[in-house]
Amino acid sequence: MSTLASLEERALADLRSCTEEAALRAWKTRYLEGEVDQAVKKIGTLPPAERPTYGKQVNELKKKLTAEYESALAAEKERALERSLASAPLDVTLPGRPVQRGRLHVSTQTLRSIYAIFADMGFQIYRSPEVEDDETNFGLLNMPEHHPARDMWDTFHTTRPGVLLRTHTSPGQIHVMRELCPKPIRVILPGMCYRYEAITTRSEIMFHQVEGLAIGEHVTMADLKGTLIAFARRLFGDQRKVRIRSSYFPFTEPSIEVDVDCIVCAGEGCSLCKRSGWLEILGAGMVHPVVLRNGGYDPACFSGFAFGMGPERIAMLTYAIDDIRQFWANDLRFLRQFGT
């Protein structure tokens, strides 16, 4: 018992000399987890008659030292807080720092507007790869090797022969047709495209496209016109005039391009529309029988339309942005202008 009394005396004296948290924790290791713990374990080695009295005393000692330790630790934490407040005073009257809100990139906002319009018309989103083979990007789209139309798309080739970065989203038509044939299709295929072109105010080497594809037993040019006119009116407003011109793409026959009247001059003629009064928004047409067949559909039973548009060009028209290079320059002064 006298050992317990001297342990208590030593432990309390040491505890009083601890002036920082680290010393208190060292004290806990030495006494509570060390000597006191040993004293508790000793109960089992004593003659049974001595155990109750010794056990009671050792437990009381443990309880007392634990309580003393906890109150010393709490007091030390309080003192440490006061020391830190005194050394670096906190001015609670200072105004807070404003939280910077992020926003969606203007291309993402435009893409989402396009998705919403086509979703309302029953088009689902289908993703297709950005790295393609030559055959899917060109061959299966009715542009065999050495076809002069390949020159319309200057291409980034990889070091693997026949593997390239897609120049347009149209190869996605082949992927979706082969996956869903012979079911009817109504999808849009958004994504990045890459072209080995000179960068100008209107052309980038990487840009988004949104492809559209509808296949069924009775899909006609009238369906294509109705879909595109409804799309243009919803995106640019009911008052917009829409013009359809004939064009050429190897994978559609007939092929068309769609213009809207210039948003800046309303058709009067200005520098944005190069004095024509019209702005081109997309290329489209009826899916060529060769492409239908390559996708697994029999052109005698199925027909379809396809279209491809550039969301960056559409955003340029919507917000009168005069240089496409702004989209990827990461200049926050530009990006902050769009959206809330």
CA–CA separation, 181 and 189 (whole Å)? 17
Q: Which of residues 137-156 bind ligand FA5 (CB under 6 A)?
A: none
**Single residue of 126, 236, 307, 338 touching ligand FA5 by CB under 6 A:** 307
Stretch that binds ligand FA5, among 96-104, 111-119, 293-301, 306-314 (CB under 6 A): 306-314
Closer to ligand FA5 by Cβ: residue 41 or 196: 196
Least distance in Å: CB of 305 to ligand FA5? 8
Is 134 among the residues that bind ligand FA5 (CB under 6 A)? no
Closer to ligand FA5 by Cβ: residue 113 or 203: 203
CA–CA separation, 49 and 54 (whole Å)? 10
Is 132 among the residues that bind ligand FA5 (CB under 6 A)? no
Is 207 among the residues that bind ligand FA5 (CB under 6 A)? yes
Least distance in Å: CB of 200 to ligand FA5? 8
Is 39 among the residues that bind ligand FA5 (CB under 6 A)? no
Closer to ligand FA5 by Cβ: residue 56 or 202: 202
Is 308 among the residues that bind ligand FA5 (CB under 6 A)? yes
**Single residue of 65, 284, 291, 316 touching ligand FA5 by CB under 6 A:** 284
CA–CA separation, 337 and 93 (whole Å)? 33
Buried b (16+ CB within 10 A) or exposed e, 194-204: bbeeeeeeeeb
Q: Which of residues 187-206 bind ligand FA5 (CB under 6 A)?
A: 195, 197, 203-204
Closer to ligand FA5 by Cβ: residue 73 or 152: 152
Report the alpha-carbon angle 13-16-22, nearest 5: 115
Q: Which of residues 222-281 bind ligand FA5 (CB under 6 A)?
A: 249, 252, 280
- Residue with smallest beta-carbon separation from ligand FA5: 310
Per rule CB under 6 A, count of chain residues that contact ligand FA5 = 24
Provide the sign of the torsion angle of the four alpha carbons 114, 117, 119, 123, taken in this order.
negative
CB 224 within 8 A of CB 323: no
Least distance in Å: CB of 183 to ligand FA5? 20
Residue 291: count other Cβ atoms within 10 Å of its Cβ: 23
Length of the chain: 340
Q: Which of residues 318-337 bind ligand FA5 (CB under 6 A)?
A: 324
Least distance in Å: CB of 156 to ligand FA5? 12
Pairing, β 124-125 against β 185-194: parallel
Least distance in Å: CB of 232 to ligand FA5? 13
**Single residue of 190, 191, 250, 283 touching ligand FA5 by CB under 6 A:** 283
Stretch that binds ligand FA5, among 17-25, 31-39, 127-135, 309-317 (CB under 6 A): 309-317
Which residues contact ligand FA5 (rule: CB under 6 A)? 168, 170, 195, 197, 203-204, 207, 209, 211, 249, 252, 280, 282-285, 306-310, 312-313, 324
